[in-house]
Amino acid sequence: MTKKQYAFYPGCSSQKGASASNFATSIEVMCEKLGIQLNEIPDWNCCSASIGYGDGGLLPRLVLNARNLALAEQHLPGQDMVSGCPACWLSTRETAEKLHESGSLMAEANEALKEAGLSFKGTVRARHIVEVLVEDVGFAGMKQPVVKPLEGMKIAGYVGCQTNRPFGIAGESFENPQYLDKMIETVGAEPASGYEQKVTCCGGALAFSEPDKSQKQIRDIVESAYDHGAEMIVTPCQLCQANVEIYQSEINKKQGTKFAMPVVYYSQLLTVAYGGSLKQAGLDGHVIQPEKLQQIAVRQK
């Protein structure tokens, strides 16, 4: 099978030893089984995320992203640029669109890029891995490699913000997107229907600066998963995953709750369902252990 080629932008949190390093691990088997080849963009840099605006300003932020686009255009011509992190995807896509729409911004960006020995023509499309799965592979394609259906698991599909807004996945609604629930079904598990915190904000970067306000958001997200009988939350977002998993212990400490709701990535579900090991699925990278999924991962068929 010839593999589909993509220019891959991992992003800072997916680096070795960083907060979403287990996400990076978990996409390898998934991509292998689905015939997706991710070619890492050489020397990529940070997108400046959603909090970079404070000190960054518009043009410096656009230019950081234009550098990645220019590197992809130069080294991996003709390939769509794909990111697994919603903040990376959002920043890159916003940059590609803004530069495409404004000749003067494009000229200014190129004037700055020249300082780093680069130029950007504007030929690269910025996409999210979920788009690749839904649009290029399709749900039938995602189902094909399933050898270990996750039967008997009820999972709350927590989409969060930036995979969903402002761009979102084509054809989905902002208020109640369906693709994550469909992915849960595709791997043989049951989505927690009526999970009303599906697109609630976890506080994002403000989990650092406004912990109490953010932890109120996180409490709602976790509590609703319990209320709907879910034994696990699944998300496409690195910051959602970290915030919702990590701060449960803080909420327990401050508010006397007894939360221990595992939070995993869609890619970990797919990898386990495709027969990947516990390690290949990055399931050794959790603060709250997703025990049931770990058990399925170590089980022989």
- Contact with another protein (CB under 8 A) among 35, 113, 139, 182: 113
Determine which residue in the list 60, 77, 171, 229 makes contact with another protein, applying CB under 8 A.
60
Question: Backbone dihedral region of 152: left (phi > 0), alpha (psi from -120 to 50 degrees) or beta?
Answer: left
Which position among 227, 250, 257, 294 is part of the footprint of another protein (CB under 8 A)? 250
How far is it, in rounded angstroms, from Cα 125 to Cα 217? 33
| 100 lines the binding site for another protein (CB under 8 A) | no
User: What does the block give as tokens for 30?
Assistant: 């998934």
Helix (H) or strand (E) holding 150: none
Compute the least distance from the CB of residue 152 to another protein, in Å: 26
Please give the torsion angle defined by the CA atoms of residues 187, 188, 192 and 196, in that order, rounded to the nearest 10 degrees: 30
Count, residues near another protein per rule CB under 8 A: 68
Contact between 205 and another protein per CB under 8 A: yes
C-alpha distances out from residue 39 to 8, 28, 74, 141, 258, Å? 5, 12, 13, 21, 42
Instruction: Determine, following the binding rule CB under 8 A, whether residue 249 of this chain makes contact with another protein.
Output: yes
By the rule CB under 8 A, 18 interacts with another protein: yes
**DSSP structural state of residue 223:** H
| Interacting residues with another protein (CB under 8 A) | 12-13, 15-22, 43-46, 48-60, 62-64, 67, 108-109, 111-118, 161-162, 165-166, 168, 174, 200-201, 203-206, 208-210, 213-214, 217, 242, 246-247, 249-250, 284-287
